[in-house]
Structures are given as structure tokens and as C-alpha cells.
Structure 1
Amino acid sequence: MQFDTVIIGGGLAGLLCGIRLSESGQRCAIVSRGQSALSFSSGSLDLLSRLPNGQPVGALGDAIAALPATHPYALLGEARVRDYATQAQQLLAGCGLALQGDIDSPHLHVTPLGALRRAWLSPQEAPLKPESNPHIGVVGISDFLDFQPQLLAAALCKRGFNACSEEIALPTLDALRDNPSEFRAVNIARLLDAPEQYAQLYDALYPLSQRYDLLYLPACFGLTDNALFTRLNQQLACPLRLLPTLPPSVPGMRMQHLLQQHFIRSGGRWMPGDEVISARVSNGQVTQVWTRKHEDIPLRARHVVLASGSFFSNGLIAGRDRVREAVFGLDVLQSDNRNDWYCDDVFDSQPWQRFGVKTNAQLNGLRQGEAISNLYVIGSVLGGFDAIAEGCGGGVSAVTALHAATQIIAQGGDE
């Protein structure tokens, strides 16, 4: 099978890159093993919250200048990071994702445990740090254990906010209550998203909306769009905001769904439930890629993009003595001494979280120190950054995805 570009991995980075390439007229395929980390995310994206030493980020340009040379942002430079982040925000909006936020004005959103987490972009339904001191009603669903309104309300009160916990019963969910493993946010959403269930949800929330200035509810509806959220906010007596629950997350799954559908509509070939098992590299270029489902029929492409994810997605494999990249055997930024992989304090930033593939400034993957000229590496499989401690996972995925796509499009007339 012949393509202009084959992308390995169907998470945030792979999808953004694929959408940009498909919209430019490229024949593009994404090989995806299954659920990506995006389905387990909160739906918020971070750009850069802290430096590797833990110092909070002020001005973005100063922060990027202070990053180590191996960090993806340092490889690209401030101007490109800004440009690609702006493009990503526009691309996401074009896919139907109404996100709030700005590059130079990061916001604080409320987490399900009452912490305030910095973000670059968040869904419209995400609760941001209140500007005043509204009377907040934290609403749980009867028997739903993945969201604890009492804990959240107590945490908000400790932060000086006026919050109380409430609970609603929704009889339509009784069929799920018998099995705790089925009484999860995604399954609840599949019921509540049905139009005929609106009245029951509205009737349960409306009396509370008359007593409070703001309602917080677990994100248990809106798998494919935010129409139900919008309708409730139009008809309730006070604003409603939604908090993601334990994974899989409804906001994260909606982002995955909307990006995937946009990629397909733009002409992309989606290859789900498949994985790349081997590849041929000749004269510094990838010439063929084999997948598990098409092991006798190689995929041939002028360009290949590796967006296979980190350890969570098996893009990186940890052995006893070393970490390896799973498909091409690319060079990996890592510590040679196993004792240097981790810190004794589990809450510290762990060195292994910065392990990942080495590239040049163009994000071409390196193998034995030599660049593979038609292979681009993007997203969390890259080395040189700690997505959690630095608060930059979503930003690195978006920025590197668009950098790779831009270079591939620029070469469209070659060969």
C-alpha cells in the first residue's frame, strides 16, 4: 500500500499531524493500536508550567531559553513553539473542540480533588479558578464512586471558597448500579447523552441551580459533543461546570473522537487495532513498514512519522539495563546506570520520565548517531522533557506534530 505519509500512533500528536497533512492534500495513513493516552486525559492541554528545577514559568520566551538543549522546545526555539501552538489552537477549533485559553495567559482549572492546575487550553465546561467567591454546589451522583463531592467541597473550602456537597439520584442509571465495574463515567454518558434522558437530568439539577451561584458536576455526559452541556447552561438558573473523573475520561474521549473523525473526513486512512511490527531502513531512509494485520503487504511512504507514545503506549520499552525504542531501534536519551533512572522520593520528578528518542533539530530520528531523513519523531516518545513535572505534555505533542507536518508539506514537490 502506497501513501505520502504513514503515521505510527493515533494519539494527540499523530492525529494533529495527520489532520494537517490530509488537509494539505497528502494521502496519509495512521496506524493505531487502540486507545491512546488521550482517552485517559482530562481534556485540558498544558504548554509549559514549570522548568526542570521546579521553578514556575513566567514569560514563555524566558522559560524556553532556560530549558536544556535536549528539550523539544529548545530544539525548535521560541518563535516556532509560539507559531505552532497558535496553529494547534486553530486546528483544534476547526475540529469542533471549543477550548478556552491563550499562549501567554495560562489559567488555573479546578481538579476533581480541589487542586488548582495550570493549563494552556481547557474545554469550555472545565471549571476555572473562580474570580470572585461564588456559592458552589458540588453535585455527586448517587452510588457513583469515581467522584467524591464531599472531598472536593472540603478541599475548596480549605482554599477559601464557599462550597457545599450535594447528591442527585437518576433512576435511569439503575441498570448500571448493580455492577460497579459498569457504573463508570463513559457508560453513564452513553445513557445520559440520549435526548429522552434530558428532562430527568434537568429536573434533578434545576432546584440546586436556584440555591447556588455555580454547580460542579462529574463529566458523565458529552461523549461526542458538548450539546447537552450547552443546553443545560442555557436553561439552568446558574452556570454548570464539569469535572473529569477517573479514566477513561469523557472529555478526553470526546477529543479523541472529534480529532479522529476530522482526520477521516479530511481524507485520511485510519487503521485501528493494528501495530507496526518492523520496518526497513536503507540508505538513511525508511523504505517499508510492516504491520501485524498486513504483514505480507508492506506500507510504503515517502515520509514516516513516529508518534507511538512513551512507556504507557509501548513506544518505549524498558528492559533490565536499557530502554529501547520499539519499532526502528532509534537512539534513546537515557542514563546508562540503572540506579540513576529514579529518585528515592516517589513524588520527585523521576529521571526515567525524561527518557526518549534522540533527534536532530528537524526532529529526524537518530540511529547510531545518524539521522533517518524521512522519519520524524513527535510527541511523548521524544526524550528530554518530563511531561508531568514540567506541565508540557500536550504542548510538546501539538508543537512537534505541526513542526513535522510543516516540513513534510514543504517537501511535497520533491522526488
Structure 2
Amino acid sequence: MNFDVVIIGGGLAGLTCGIALQEQGKRCVIINNGQAALDFASGSMDLLGRLPDGSAVSSLRPAFESLRRQAPQHPYSVLGIEAVESKATQFENILHQLNLELAGSARENHKRVTAIGGLRPAWLSPNTVPTVTNHQNFIHQRIAVLGIEGYHDFQPQLLIDNLQLNPQFAHCQFSSGFLNIPELDQLRRDAREFRSVNIAQLLEHKLSFDELAAEIKQAAGDAEAVFLPACFGLDDQSLFNGLKQATGLALYELPTLPPSLLGIRQHKQLSYRFEKLGGMMLNGDRALRAEFEGDKVACVYTRLHQEEPIAAENFVLAAGGFFSNGLSAEFERIREPVFDADIIETEQFRAQDRFSWTHKRFSSPQPYQAAGVIINAHCQVQKSGRFLPNLYAAGSVIGGYNAIELGCGAGVAVVTALIAAERIGGM
């Protein structure tokens, strides 16, 4: 099999890169091992939430020099502020074309409400998720928080108690309640099956829409806004938008425990766009090894194609980190298993020193989370001390930063994906 570009990984980075390349007329294949981290994400995307010293970031550009000084190996520091801002804006335009209904701007972070009543910085959030700016109060005053009877992943009173501690919600009057939704009775018999995705799947086929809208309206009482768990609408938010229109209320949905309905919707829409543009998905397959011709990658072999090479002019490594086996930890070292690319080392982390991988405090940022491959400003990957001309990396397989600590995982994914696509398309 021969393609223009082989992309290893079908998550946010791989799909973003694939869409951009297909739009340039490239013929791409994505080797997709299984569920992507996107399926477990909140639906909101972060660009940069804080600096390594713990300082909060409200806008990327004013914080960039501090980031570069504190984390010189961070992908943003390698790529430069102009490239990062340009690609973040390009990704916003891609989302607009896909009608993914995300709100936000790279110019300034907002804060999204979490399912337990916290506020987390975000770059982009679904427009159905309640958000506030850094210094403004929430736009509604009377809020009803409604759970679903028997659904334990969303606790209204816990959310209310925590949310009232935030000054942006101090003016709000809260009430709580639960929806019965008789169509869900069969799921209530087995708590293990009573999850957001299962609820959405069942309501997709057995929903009594008018009765549900009436129940929400009655349970809301005199509230003007209603917070609900994200359980309504598996493929997109059209069902939720319909409920909003039918009730005449300002409805909001909050992601609960993974898998996340909001992340799954985004994954489906991005996958659909890639395939509609002519891209090929090899789902349930995994890249095992690569062959080289000089300093170039010639082909890869996969679990389902161990004898048949998959060849291309260019390759993009977007396989993710440890979660999706893009990186593997052996007893004596951490490695990238397909190309055996060089692993970055930081002041706290050394790939071949097992004792440097973890911090003795469990709650502290763990050094191994900064593991990953080394890239240059074109997102080309380093192997044996040299940057390979036709191998690029995107997303969390890249090292030099802790995405959880800094709140920048989605931003790194899409920025590096679009830089790689631009470099490949311009060759």
C-alpha cells in the first residue's frame, strides 16, 4: 500500500493533521490503534493554563517569554509564539467549518464549570458548557442543577456547594433535583451500565422527546438556567439544542466521568470529516516497526499488515503518550516503539534512569509525564542525534512538557499537527 502520508494515531493530533493534508490534496492513511484520548476528554480544549512555576495564564502571548524561560524544551518554546498563535487561529477556523459549535479564542482563556463545581481554564469549550471570563459574573442568576435518578456520576448538591465558593457564582440562587426519564429504567437495574454513553444510546432510539422536555421544565421550577449531565445526543448536540428550544430555558451540559460524550462527539465529527475528504482509516490496527532508506523512513508494518509494507513519502507520529502506547516504559528505559526515536531529557527526567521517572509525592507532577520524542521547529523527529527529513511528530508523543500540569495538551496537539501538515504540503 502506498500513500502520500502515513499518520500513526487517530486522536486529535492525527485527525487534525489528516484533515489539513487531505484539504491540500494529499492522500493520507491513519493507523488507529483504538479509542483515542479525545473520547475520554471533557470536550473543552486548552492552549496554556499555567506556567511551570504555578502562575495562572489568562492569555498566551503575554506569558510566552516566561514559558520559554521556565520551559525551554516545551514544544511552544521550540516553535515560537508566531507559529503557535497562527496555528491556533487556523484550528479555530477548521472547527468553524466543521460546525463543532465550540466557543473561545486564543487571545484569552475562559473558565469552564466542571461536574463537581470547579472552574478550569480553557481555550475552547462547547457552547453548551457553562463558562465565565476571569472577572465577570455568570450571566444567569437562578440556576437549577438537575441530575438523573440512579445516575451517580453527577451529584447536583456537590456541584452547587463547590460552585458557590467561586465569586463568579456568588450572586446565584441554586436549586437541585432529579429527572426520572422512564426510558432509562432498564439501565437502572445494572449500575455498571448506567453511564453517559449508554444513556445517550438508549435515548437516541427510545426517547419520548416531548415528555422529557416537559419533565425538565417542571423540575427547573422558576430557574432561568439549568445544568444537566452531558447525556443527551451521541453524535452531535442537535438533541440538546432541541431540548433547549422546546423548554425555553438556558440549558447547559457538563461532562461527567469518562468516557465523555462531549469528547466522543468531537472525535466522530473529526473522523467523519477526514474520511469525507478521502482519507483512509485503518481502525483497530497498530504500527509495529519501520524500515529506513538512509535517513528517511521508507515504510511501516502493522499488526494486521506484518508482511505488507505501508509506504509513503512522509510519516507523522501522532500515537500519543503512555495512555495509547505511543511511548512504552521498559524496566531500564522509556522508548518510542515504532521508530526508536530519541527521547527528550530534562533537568528532572532521564529516559534511562528509572529513579528519575517519578516524584516521591504522589500528588506532585511526575517527571515521566514530560517524556517524549525530540522535535525541531518544523516538528521533524530526531533519531540517533539527527532530524529525519520525512518523519514528523504531533501531540503528546512529543516530550519536554507536562500537559496535565500546564493545561496545554490540546493546544500542543493541534499546533504541532498543523505545522507538520504545512511543512509536508509545502515540500
Normalised by the length of structure 2, the TM-score is: 0.93
Q: CA deviation at 1:270?
A: 0.8
- Distance in 1 (CA, whole Å) between partners of 2:156 and 2:48 is 30
Q: Specify the SS of the correspondent of 1:356.
A: coil
Q: Specify the SS of the correspondent of 1:305.
A: strand
> Could you list the per-position Cα deviations for residues 5-57 of structure 1 after superposition, in whole angstroms to 9, with x for gaps in the alignment?
00000000000000010111111000001100000001100001111111112
- Distance in 1 (CA, whole Å) between partners of 2:337 and 2:33 is 13
Q: Kindly indicate whether residue 142 of structure 2 is the aligned counterpart of residue 135 of structure 1.
A: yes
- Distance in 1 (CA, whole Å) between partners of 2:387 and 2:292 is 11
- Distance in 2 (CA, whole Å) between partners of 1:408 and 1:162 is 54
Q: Specify the SS of the correspondent of 1:302.
A: strand
Counterpart in the other structure of 2:299? 288
Q: Is the 8 A contact 1:3 1:28 kept in 2?
A: yes
Counterpart in the other structure of 1:376? 392
Counterpart in the other structure of 2:52? 52
What is the aligned counterpart of 1:152 among 150, 153, 159? 159
Q: Is the 8 A contact 1:210 1:238 kept in 2?
A: no
**Number of residue pairs matched by the alignment:** 411
Q: Aligned Cα RMSD in Å?
A: 1.4
Letter in 1 for 2:41: S
> Could you list the per-position Cα deviations for residues 240-271 of structure 1 after superposition, in whole angstroms to 9, with x for gaps in the alignment?
00001111000000000000000000000011
Q: Is the 8 A contact 2:214 2:247 kept in 1?
A: no
- Distance in 2 (CA, whole Å) between partners of 1:387 and 1:235 is 40
1:248-287 alignment to 2 at 5 Å?
A: 248-287=259-298
Q: CA deviation at 1:238?
A: 2.1
Q: CA deviation at 1:328?
A: 0.6
Q: Is the 8 A contact 1:133 1:162 kept in 2?
A: no
- Distance in 2 (CA, whole Å) between partners of 1:357 and 1:252 is 26
What is the aligned counterpart of 2:87 among 84, 87, 105? 84
Counterpart in the other structure of 2:72? 69
Q: CA deviation at 1:350?
A: 1.7
Q: CA deviation at 1:59?
A: 4.1
- Distance in 2 (CA, whole Å) between partners of 1:350 and 1:51 is 16
1:7-406 alignment to 2 at 5 Å?
A: 7-66=7-66, 67=68, 68-129=71-132, 130-132=137-139, 134-159=141-166, 160=170, 161-194=172-205, 196-334=207-345, 335-336=349-350, 337-406=353-422
Q: Specify the SS of the correspondent of 1:286.
A: strand
For structure 1, which segment, 313-322 or 124-133, has the greater mean C-alpha deviation from structure 2 after superposition?
124-133
Q: Is the 8 A contact 1:209 1:237 kept in 2?
A: no
Q: Kindly indicate whether residue 4 of structure 2 is the aligned counterpart of residue 4 of structure 1.
A: yes
> Could you list the per-position Cα deviations for residues 220-250 of structure 1 after superposition, in whole angstroms to 9, with x for gaps in the alignment?
0221111111112212132000001111000
- Distance in 2 (CA, whole Å) between partners of 1:65 and 1:302 is 36
Q: Any stretches of 5+ residues in structure 2 without a counterpart?
A: none
- Distance in 2 (CA, whole Å) between partners of 1:355 and 1:37 is 17
- Distance in 1 (CA, whole Å) between partners of 2:106 and 2:184 is 40
- Distance in 1 (CA, whole Å) between partners of 2:159 and 2:58 is 28
Q: Is the 8 A contact 2:79 2:376 kept in 1?
A: no
For structure 1, which segment, 361-370 or 242-251, has the greater mean C-alpha deviation from structure 2 after superposition?
361-370
Q: Kindly indicate whether residue 425 of structure 2 is the aligned counterpart of residue 409 of structure 1.
A: yes
Letter in 1 for 2:239: L
Q: Specify the SS of the correspondent of 1:89.
A: helix
Normalised by the length of structure 1, the TM-score is: 0.96
> Could you list the per-position Cα deviations for residues 369-393 of structure 1 after superposition, in whole angstroms to 9, with x for gaps in the alignment?
1111100011000001111111100
Q: CA deviation at 1:131?
A: 2.5
> Could you list the per-position Cα deviations for residues 380-410 of structure 1 after superposition, in whole angstroms to 9, with x for gaps in the alignment?
0000111111110000001000000000000
- CA 1:58–1:184 in structure 2 vs 1: closer, same or farther (change >3 Å)? closer
Q: Is the 8 A contact 2:59 2:106 kept in 1?
A: no
Q: CA deviation at 1:212?
A: 0.8
Q: Is the 8 A contact 2:58 2:108 kept in 1?
A: no
For structure 1, which segment, 394-403 or 278-287, has the greater mean C-alpha deviation from structure 2 after superposition?
278-287
- CA 1:195–1:90 in structure 2 vs 1: closer, same or farther (change >3 Å)? farther
Letter in 1 for 2:93: Q
- Distance in 2 (CA, whole Å) between partners of 1:118 and 1:183 is 29
Q: Specify the SS of the correspondent of 1:137.
A: strand
Q: Specify the SS of the correspondent of 2:146.
A: strand
- Distance in 2 (CA, whole Å) between partners of 1:184 and 1:205 is 20
- Distance in 2 (CA, whole Å) between partners of 1:292 and 1:329 is 17
Q: Any stretches of 5+ residues in structure 1 without a counterpart?
A: none
> Could you list the per-position Cα deviations for residues 54-92 of structure 1 after superposition, in whole angstroms to 9, with x for gaps in the alignment?
111244223222222211111111111111001101112
Q: CA deviation at 1:368?
A: 1.2
> Could you list the per-position Cα deviations for residues 280-302 of structure 1 after superposition, in whole angstroms to 9, with x for gaps in the alignment?
02211000111111112111100
- Distance in 1 (CA, whole Å) between partners of 2:389 and 2:164 is 55
- Distance in 2 (CA, whole Å) between partners of 1:294 and 1:217 is 45
Q: Specify the SS of the correspondent of 1:293.
A: coil
Calculate percent identity across the aligned residue pairs.
43
Q: CA deviation at 1:166?
A: 0.8
